[in-house]
Structure 1
């Protein structure tokens, strides 16, 4: 954030600059297509698909879980605002769930288990040394609501369901493309946003 602010102040605040920048931060993103190592959902999906147990380092750590489509809707909302008005230029915004939608890792796993058979995991938080992890992470997204009229669409349970369904589809059809299924999930997300009167779904 400081590096981007430096660029904004040094190069893009001049009267002749035609560049507008937004600074964003997202909550703990989950969703289909994430294969990064040492991330809770990919680790669980990979282990469970092989009938293996997954080791959980911090089951009580609380995180602002959100589906990947949520911050993307925020980024696009900010970009659209920047094309129309320089008011948001150089400002930083958090995109994440509401404060009552933060859940511990253990509850995330419990919710995932509703859509996946043979869930096995063990708490290794006290068995071995691990890098320090904050027990509680939260994001204040009030600024995004106030300036951009942005708010999340999905509830925690919906987020988890969409995420696990994507991986389940993948492991059931490894030889097939998930392009159409991914597009279907995007359309499902858009329809839910419309039904919940989310601002970015409206035509000005």
Structure 2
């Protein structure tokens, strides 16, 4: 089973977390604060109602700035006030289908937002580590079904994927041009498709299932045979936190790492995931296949090899894909039955860290 974050390490560490109002960002700030970190958040207001950020309130935050990651002066001021030991950059335009509708904005946020952050961070004194979160979709995907490793060629068949691949290059450039000389360790993290309670984003599978269930509607599935490296948000964040620890201490030379389920696990297609979530929520199958309809291109097969993260960090997914699906479904089912969202998050963090 994977190592867990070191509470002694995180206690008192100043962490500048971008994207703290998002789904993963909210889980991250709550867990980091329980580890003893002082978390400063920087992000836009959440785009959905409800949002996990809204349901959790300010829990886990020492301070926050609600602003655009591309706003250089505001970003510089917030970073200076925090004077972070570690930057965890998660702010992004994260949706593939929206990237087709707003390609320029997607590239601007994901590339120039990252550049603005890295530029502003150059003047910080206490900073020791920067982890830029990208995606499993940064690889040039030939649809072969093989498990991508960190040395594979980057690419992007859609604006979201391309923008994240470009942000990888921008991060590497800043690392080699500026931060290496200062002794600041900079890397990127490529996480698989993340599941977990509190994601209310538009055009994402599990939130779409929940919305359809609450509304009593049939869910349209665009590509039910597509496979993705599904993982629970806590497994993904565990990898990010362990990577930050290793970067801070200089204990790892890796400049990018994959975080995803074991390649030995059977891949779970989208349709089966949808049926599993609905079953775990006590629902019958209420989705239909719309794959024959005209729609923007999405990759059919995607898989990561996280062996390097295992070697460097002793990280591996603690939850199987089936368990990740069940944990996410149970969160939503309890929430729709009026359980407190923050209590559900804290309960799953505690269960995860205590071995279930």
The answer, yes or no, to whether TM exceeds 0.5 is yes
Larger relative contact order (Cα-Cα within 8 Å, sequence gap ≥ 6): 1
What is the match of residue 199 of structure 1? Answer: none
What is the match of residue 138 of structure 1? Answer: 303
- 8 A contact 2:198–2:341 mirrored in 1: no
Select 2:174's aligned residue among 3, 7, 11: 7
Q: Under a length normalisation based on structure 1, what TM-score does the superposition of the two structures give?
A: 0.87
What is the match of residue 197 of structure 1? Answer: none
Q: Under a length normalisation based on structure 2, what TM-score does the superposition of the two structures give?
A: 0.51
> Once the 2 structures are TM-superposed, how far is the Cα of residue 144 of structure 1 from its aligned partner?
0.7
- 8 A contact 1:48–1:119 mirrored in 2: no
Tell me the distance in 2 between the aligned counterparts of 1:113 and 1:38: 17
Select 2:259's aligned residue among 69, 73, 95: 95
SS of the equivalent of 2:246 reads: helix
Tell me the distance in 1 between the aligned counterparts of 2:170 and 2:278: 41
Tell me the distance in 2 between the aligned counterparts of 1:147 and 1:179: 33
Tell me the distance in 1 between the aligned counterparts of 2:236 and 2:205: 19
> Once the 2 structures are TM-superposed, how far is the Cα of residue 167 of structure 1 from its aligned partner?
0.8
Tell me the distance in 1 between the aligned counterparts of 2:355 and 2:268: 22
SS of the equivalent of 1:153 reads: coil
Aligned residue runs from structure 1 range 13-92, under 5 A: 13-14=180-181, 17-85=182-250, 87-88=252-253, 91-92=255-256
SS of the equivalent of 2:200 reads: coil
Q: Which segment drifts farther, 132-141 or 114-123?
A: 114-123
1:6-35 CA-partner distances (Å, limit 9, x unpaired): 110111111xx1422121010001101111
What is the match of residue 90 of structure 2? Answer: none
Matched, 1:124 2:124: no
What is the match of residue 190 of structure 1? Answer: 353
Tell me the distance in 2 between the aligned counterparts of 1:94 and 1:87: 14
- 8 A contact 2:226–2:269 mirrored in 1: yes
When the two chains are superposed, the root-mean-square deviation of aligned CA atoms in Å is 1.5
1:24-56 CA-partner distances (Å, limit 9, x unpaired): 010001101111111000001100111110100
- 8 A contact 1:22–1:88 mirrored in 2: no
What is the match of residue 196 of structure 1? Answer: none
Tell me the distance in 2 between the aligned counterparts of 1:79 and 1:22: 9
Misfit runs of 4+, over 3 Å: none
Tell me the distance in 2 between the aligned counterparts of 1:141 and 1:188: 23
- 8 A contact 1:51–1:118 mirrored in 2: no
SS of the equivalent of 1:93 reads: strand
* Residue segments in structure 1 that go unaligned for 5+ positions in a row: 194-204
Matched, 1:177 2:329: no
- 8 A contact 1:20–1:86 mirrored in 2: no
* Residue segments in structure 2 that go unaligned for 5+ positions in a row: 1-167
